[in-house]
Amino acid sequence: MTHYDYIVIGAGSAGCVVANRLTEDSNTTVLLLEAGNPDTKPEIQIPAECLSLLGSDVDWSYFSEPEPYLNNRKIFCPRGKVLGGSSSINFMIYMRGNYQDYDHWESLGNPGWSYQHVLPYFKKSEHQQRGASEFHGMDGELSVTDLISPAVVSQRFVEAAVALGYAHNPDVNGMQQEGAGLYQLTIKEGKRHSTATAFLVPILQRPNLTITTRALVTRLLFEGTRTIGVEYLHEGTLHQVRVNYEVILSAGAFDSPKLLMLSGIGNPEHVQGLGIPVVVDLPGVGQNLQDHPIVPVVHKATQDLHTASTSSIAEAGLFLHTQDNLDAAPDLQFLFGPIVFAPPGYDHSGSGFTSLVCLTHPQNIGSVSLRSPDPKNAPIIRMNYLQSEADVQKLVVGIKLMRQLFHTSVFNEFRGEELAPGADKQSDEALEAYVREACSTVYHPVGTCKMGTDPMAVVDPELRVYGVEGLRVVDASIMPTITTGNTNAPTIMIGEKAADLIKATGGCVSQQIPSAIAN
């Protein structure tokens, strides 16, 4: 049977980074398994085509269960089914979050995860077009660039925010996050710069790296509680490979907990109920699902907005506080783009512009569980968006703020009819109904294998899965709480930091369940 020093499951935003860093040592062999396709679809490379990728053959196209607080609607939950994972189908926004996000992680019992500790890892990956600084690096693999030709209406969005008294902030990843500005994107020479393009393409010739696509991992293999390898399905045949040191699970917030449960790691009642033998009793697997809910405010435009093929659909943004607690991270994010991004049932025709009102720290907590013991079946996803009335009220406040912004004089030359919510919806009651009717996701699921030391933690602060040896989770699922903003850059950072943690152990380290969990 074939042996590798490390097996990385999932060539997404974190997995590509880990595979790159571990194979820097020519004596270390790595097998990178990706369930999706090679990233050869032409639209992947064209930034403005990002919406066409959703629901395509490079997307898992998951749906939530009927959401009880959203009129029992099923919510579309795209995830990259391709080399590069969701970094190959996302909107390419480079957003680290707020420094307080990471200080909070450390305060929850995760030493080494404060902003001071993670900033060097953000900088390590980054090739910042504007040059190096206290907050930015330019020696990394990932291209972070300004928009090549932002739409005039996107610049008007920033001007309108400033006219309303918000700060102009050209760098949300710098000293402060509040304010309005044009986003930076993971684009290089006009093309999407996914983690596959940035971290895998330059190292494809390394003889110690093996990449297999269309390889669906069906379960982890154990001897007792020692991880000894993986089983995967490739071209209709089941294969087993052995690992010398560690398996690194980087399949994302939906599929990492799914694979743990398929392998007998999770809530014993749930796992046993599907006929899967229990390896470790870890009730937190699949719990703590967090995401950013959004509602759109959409206008028709009175003229063509001249969007560029080198642009993402989200070009500008604004972070703000709806309350006076300026010591906390901003609680609303607005993502603006020169497109019509209206809810189902609304007019989608013609030229227009949209601002997505996004809750940065919603109170909804969801879960991921197994639908069946068949690895080919999608997991059961429950988001629980808007279970808190306070979240609904905050989104209503956000809609009113956007209406105010869109009715500043700088939008006069572009502003047509309001398509959504629509001019007929003015009362708080009407806007609350619109929020529940139109609320969706901005595609940032995290937290389902959270790190920590409490009874619901799945991994320790070094990302080792409790109760087993030789197994780590390295992706957005380890976040104990969601970051303030887009989650791709934080997931890349997690891959960078994890690679150093793995190298530091030089192989396998036994990880026992701490007494707080064992008892």
Positions marked active-site: 444
DSSP 247-306: EEE-SHHHHHHHHHHHTTEE-HHHHHHTTPPPSEE-TTTT--BB--EEEEEEEEESS---
> What is the identity of the amino acid at 161?
A
| CA 290 vs CA 65, 106, 177, 293, 411: distances in Å | 15, 18, 21, 9, 35
Contact 438, 429 (CB under 8 A): no
> What is the identity of the amino acid at 476?
A
Contact 39, 84 (CB under 8 A): yes
Helix (H, G, I), strand (E, B) or coil at 181: strand
Place of tokens 């669906």: 216
CA 158, CA 492: separation in Å to the nearest integer? Answer: 28
Q: What is the helix, strand, coil percentage profile of the chain, to 5?
A: 25, 25, 50
CA 514, CA 410: separation in Å to the nearest integer? Answer: 58
Contact 322, 332 (CB under 8 A): yes
**102 Cβ partners below 8 Å, 6+ apart?**
113, 114, 115, 117, 118
**506 Cβ partners below 8 Å, 6+ apart?**
none
Q: Which of 315, 347, 310 is nearest to 334 (CA)?
A: 315
- Strands 3-9, 237-249: pairing is parallel
Q: Is 194 left (phi over 0), alpha (psi -120 to 50) or beta?
A: beta
Structure-block tokens of residue 182: 């044009």
**348 Cβ partners below 8 Å, 6+ apart?**
340, 342
Residue 61 main-chain phi, psi, to 5 deg:
55, 50
Strand partners, 2: none
Helix (H, G, I), strand (E, B) or coil at 451: strand
Helix (H, G, I), strand (E, B) or coil at 316: strand
Q: Which of 457, 504, 512, 505 is nearest to 479 (CA)?
A: 457
Contact 82, 88 (CB under 8 A): yes
Count of other CB atoms within 10 angstroms of residue 324? 7
Contact 293, 366 (CB under 8 A): no
Residue 52's Cβ-side half-sphere holds a number of Cα atoms within 13 Å equal to 10
